[in-house]
Structure 1
Amino acid sequence: MTDSATDNRNPWSVFLIFLRLGLISFGGPVAHLGYLREEFVTRRRWLSERNYVDLIALCQFLPGPASSQVGIALGLSRAGYAGALAAWAGFTLPSAITLMLLAQGIASHGEVLSAGMLHGLKVVAVAVVAQAIWGMARTLCSDGPRICLMLIAAGITLMVPTAWAPVGVIVAAAIAGLVLFKATPPSDFEPMAVAISRRNGAVCLLVFFSLLVGLPLVSVLWPRQTLAMVDAFYRSGSLVFGGGHVVLPLLQSAVVPTGWVTREVFMAGYGAVQAMPGPLFTFAAFLGASMTSAPSGWSGGLLCLIAIFLPAFLLIVGALPYWEQLRRNTRMQMAMGGVNAAVVGLLLAAFYQPVWSSAIENPRDIVIAIVALIALMFWKLPPWLVVIGTGATGWWLG
């Protein structure tokens, strides 16, 4: 289904689309990219496959939550700054609100999802990611050199499991692209309709670096817990490469030794966030709502949630105008041939670890994943229905 008359370019429409994704996008950052691809490349055709992978490459290169940054960029291209905010809110608020309720004792981890249902949701992520990788590989890895780059990128990422490995792989693939590929613009190149001037982009980048440097100084000069919390969560959101899981140890070192959150509460939230749809960065909302002193509760949760996602907004808005300019350059197009293949390789590595390794425990799980993949690729069932069906199967069998 492509855009219809009711799918208007306004923030409310963007919010509703991302809200539905925020309710069903289980499985972690790589699975989120699969859900976004199915919704906006395959179903709504907001952008081409190649442009989608270009956008993933940019977000992989920037620090922060890559899947959320992709969503922010899509909302920005659809409905401007308000669309970016709407996309973020729709994708983020379902899990953030649930975690804040959990932090205040209104719900408990055992009541959020049963162990069997949680396992079923991990299995469906295998199908979602497999579908996305297959579709992108068919478009972007169509010859021998690109397939080799894809496999090399996957192998390096698996053998060097560090947060900086994806950045190094992308840089090396760009150099390989300059050597291997000709400067022929792709037939499906379409600039993203992002109405951001380079001046506004520069202002956002300046604000990003000013806050990164200035917040620690301000929190020392005016020692208030509110400022210290904003500083800690802003820095955590600014310095994370390699996906949402990397932010969890950073947050632990920020909130447990300071006494803001007890170790027991932190571990309870750590378990709960694995069961949530949407970005793992919403763990900040749980921690903010769990603070032992004010601000806590709803105000603390919202404060920490905004602080940890603010760098993602500033970086993607700041980088997009320059990115669009670079993508038109012929040498950059050569480099992007290698980068696109490497991005598929990064997703292939993530498909094995952690998506497959954390979900597939026995032959029954393989059968469930295959049925879910068939439902998505051949029966063309909507992802939300496949998610509900697989989760229910896990609950029934668990």
Structure 2
Amino acid sequence: MKLLSLFYQFFLLGCTSFGGPAAHLGYFQRHFVDNKKWLNQQQYGQLISLSQLLPGPGSSQVGFAIGLERAGLAGAVTAFIGFTLPSVLIMMLLAIGATQLQWATQGVITGLKLFAVVIVCDALLTMAKSFCNSHITKLLALLSAIALIFAPSLYTQLIILGVAGIVGMVFLQPFEQASTKPSSSLSLGPLIIFVVLFAMSFVATSGLWLLAAQFYQAGSLVFGGGHVVLPLLDTILIDVDADAFLSGYAAAQAIPGPMFTFATYLGAVLLPQSPIIGALIATAAIFLPGFLLVLAFYKHWSALMANPLISGMSRAINATVVGFIVAALYNPIIPAGLSHWWYVVFAALGLWVLRQYKTPILAMIAAYIALGLLLLQFGF
């Protein structure tokens, strides 16, 4: 029953989590920290820090870690399947030509994009209160946001994380020193598997193994989440038609769930004789590296948080995540969700209702879907 409940909670989010990685962190914050109380703000902050320092799909890694915390490895896999399944099915249908299926209307999409603005703003306010509680952390968040807004790139993000980590270790160490020595043990099994598979991916020459190897390399090398995977996959995959490539990427941004399911679409396109097999192989291969690294460092990271240097680094990284969310709000979440100026009123009202009355997420989602349909009906 515990796994079934876990699957349901993540499947629900997978069906409704529009807005990309920053929005996903907002949904997780509201659902698992504020409402379900499955973990506290400090634990959630540690998971975010870990996901920011590892390659792979950041928000999916946080979800994977929540499942791991809740019900072990089976819970982690269940959480991943629940959160990813809706977008995998949609991308698979699109890839095999089932576009005639009305899987969502324009009105529903409009409403959910509006709700994404609300939930990300709510997460921003909550996380800023928790993670930006000193002059240094506030400054880190502000500078991170400005840097990403004016120079949006993977390299900017990596530089920000590196500088923030150094600042945190120097200036943000906790006053109270840990009374116990943190364990230095590391889960070597997943780390060895990650390294071996990464090395083997470069010797693949043909067939299904080559397909898996290409997506495994992408999942092993991408920092910064779904948007960053586009140029990397464009470099690695040389057999995909440019129109199909861009169409799949556009679809991945328009549907709920992790953007890494762009790989689902590409896998089906690359293996037209068996599109379902190609989609499943590509999906598993691109997510696997990030999850192996979470398994390798998860317990180790929790123990390391007792070290003042690592604790200070984590505080700084969490502050930069607040800046990343501000930058994501600036582009693409607000431009996509507030496509007309009067939509600002609907978003502000929703944010007020959510924070004032702690309205259940399901009720908010239903209200915004209804609003989106009404706006479409009346030509707004």
The TM-score, its normalising length taken from structure 2, stands at: 0.90
CA distance, structure 2, for counterparts of residue 101 and residue 254 of structure 1: 24
Q: Quick one: distance in 2 between partners of 1:153 and 1:17?
A: 32
- Structure 1 residues 224-233 or 354-363, which shifts more? 354-363
- 1:330-369 alignment, distance < 5 Å: 330-369=308-347
* The one of 105, 111, 115 aligned to 1:114: 105
- Paired position in structure 1 for 2:247: 268
1:147 maps to: 138
Question: What is aligned with 2:159?
Answer: 168
SS of 2:154 mapped into structure 1: coil
- CA contact under 8 A between 1:170 and 1:343: conserved in structure 2? no
Q: Counterpart of 2:201 in 1: which secondary structure?
A: helix
> 1:59 Cα deviation (Å)?
0.5
DSSP-derived class of the 2:214 partner: helix
**Contact 1:60/1:167, CA 8 A, preserved across alignment:** no
Equivalent position to 2:33, from 38, 41, 46: 41
1:246 equivalent in alignment to 2:225: no
Q: CA RMSD in A?
A: 2.3
Matched residues in 2 for 1:290 and 1:334: separation? Answer: 45
Give 1:116 deviation, angstroms. 4.1
**Aligned-pair distance for 1:273?**
1.9
Query: 1:27 aligns to what SS in structure 2?
Result: coil
Give distance in 1, aligned partners of 2:23 and 2:277: 30
d(CA) in 2 for partners of 1:203, 1:21: 31
* Correspondence 1:206 to 2:192: yes
- Change in 2 beyond 3 A, CA 1:91/1:197: farther
Aligned to 1:279: 258
Figure out how many residues of one structure are paired with residues of the other and give that number: 372
Counterparts of 1:91 and 1:175, CA distance in 2: 34
Contact 1:157/1:349 (8 A) holds in 2: yes
Deviation at 1:182, TM superposition (A): 4.6
**Alpha-carbon distance change, 262 to 148 in structure 1, aligned in 2, over 3 angstroms:** closer
Task: Report Cα offsets for 1:304-332 as digits up to 9, x if no partner.
Answer: 11111111111111111221221111222
| SS in structure 1 of the partner of residue 362 of structure 2 | helix
- Residue in 2 that maps onto 1:323: 301
C-alpha change, 1:197 and 1:21, in structure 2 (3 Å) is farther
Partner of 1:299: 277
Check whether the contact 1:184–1:334 (CA below 8 A) recurs between aligned residues: no
Structure 2 match to 1:310: 288
Q: Which of 126, 131, 134 in structure 2 is aligned with 1:135?
A: 126
User: Structure 1 residue 17: deviation in Å?
Assistant: 1.4
- Bigger Cα displacement from structure 2, 178-187 vs 158-167: 178-187
**Sequence identity percentage:** 38
Shift of 1:186: 10
Listed one character per residue, the Cα deviations across residues 335-361 of structure 1 (whole Å, up to 9, x for unaligned) are 333222222222222221221233223
Q: Which runs of 5+ in 1 are unaligned?
A: 1-7, 188-195
* 1:30 alignment partner in structure 2: 22
TM-score w.r.t. the length of structure 1 is 0.87
Q: Which amino acid aligns with 2:283?
A: L
1:230 to 204, 209, 212: 212
Determine if contact 2:16/2:112 at 8 Å carries over to the other structure.
no
Shift, 1:292, TM fit: 4.9
CA shift in 2, pair 1:186/1:104, >3 Å: farther
Q: Please give the alpha-carbon distance, in whole angstroms, between the structure 1 residues aligned to 2:144 and 2:303.
A: 26
Gaps of 5+ in 2: none
